Amino acid sequence: MAVDDLTVDIAPGRVTGFLGPNGAGKSTTMRMIMGLDHPTAGTATIGGLEYHRFRHPLREVGALLDAKALHPGRSARNHLLAMARSNGIPARRVDEVLGIVGLSEVARQRAGAYSLGMGQRLGIAGALLGDPGTLIFDEPVNGLDPDGVRWVRGLARSLAGEGRTVFVSSHLMSEMQLTADHLVVIGRGRLITDAPIVEVLSGSSPATVRIRVPDTDERSDLAGRLRVAGFPAEPVPPDGLLVRGATLSQVGDLAHAAGARLHELASADPSLEEAYMRLTGDSVEYRVPTQRHPAPEEAG
């Protein structure tokens, strides 16, 4: 069973990130929303209606689920033009979305010859074609260069800022941390968490402080004082310490008492990757076994 008793409400006006290990059921969930897969029980609705009930679905919801789902012999413009005609969308909108995604100059090239990143942009253009209120993106930054990744982030946040519903899946935790307002995390087809990203991050780990102490002896002495105070300090080369469970004030006071000269004293931002690993640790289905590499004298 790919998805089991999953109930979530994706609200408008924010970017909702959809996370989970491989095989968790993310793509299946998105396909059910779009009517491509059918649940054995329950419903997936958009604005209260199932996808197949919309007369002009592209005007209600736009989706990028598989950027390669197109005729490779058609030009990008003709591909979008066929989509537009099927939903009563004027041809001028095709040129508008090609401009939005940066494909105007290559619009008459065969889509089958596009690079992976260009194909992603064309898929996003298709999702935007009907100017819908709901957008669903499955791994939209796959194959994009850093500039393209940044562009997708800005696009998602801009669409949400207009009051649209934006639902995005990704395996890039650092990018999702910059993009999402809310997170839905699933594992083995079941809901793990459905919460604002600030709540997920705040529960990921105790407060962490980063310090740099250039003098080796002072750094060692301060690390000992931190341990005695109940704050474990992890060395960070070349001259840093990562202190867990302490506030800036507590670390600063201990450094002052130790007479340690600091080159840095700052809060370390919580990591979505750490929070994600903590949440999904029991839900990973495909693990690579730890392999022992033979010593040089054993090889051969």
Give mean pLDDT in consecutive 10-residue pieces for the chain, a chain of 300 residues.
87 97 93 93 94 95 92 95 96 97 96 93 97 97 93 97 97 94 95 93 76 96 95 93 91 95 89 89 62 52
Query: Can you give the pLDDT at residue 287?
Result: 57
Q: Report d(CA 183, CA 204) in Å as an integer.
A: 13
Query: Can you give the pLDDT at residue 286?
Result: 55
- In a domain, residue 7? The reply is no
Residues 118 and 103 in one domain: yes
* CB burial of residue 119 (10 Å; 0-12, 13-18, 19+): buried
Query: Can you give the pLDDT at residue 294?
Result: 56
The 10 Å CB-count burial string (b at 16+, else e) for 172-186 is ebebbbebbbbbbbb
The SS3 call for residue 17 is strand
**DSSP string spanning 175-190?**
HHHHH-SEEEEEETTE
- In a domain, residue 116? The reply is yes
Helices (H), 239-285: 248-258, 272-280
- In a domain, residue 242? The reply is yes
Residues 77 and 128 in one domain: yes
Its domain, for residue 242, covers 208-277
- In a domain, residue 42? The reply is yes
CATH code for position 34:
3.40.50.300
- In a domain, residue 4? The reply is no
Query: Can you give the pLDDT at residue 300?
Result: 47
Query: Can you give the pLDDT at residue 117?
Result: 93
**DSSP string spanning 225-236?**
HHHHTT--EEEE
Residues 219 and 180 in one domain: no
Query: Can you give the pLDDT at residue 245?
Result: 86
pTM above 0.85, yes or no: no
Residues 34 and 137 in one domain: yes
Residues 187 and 230 in one domain: no
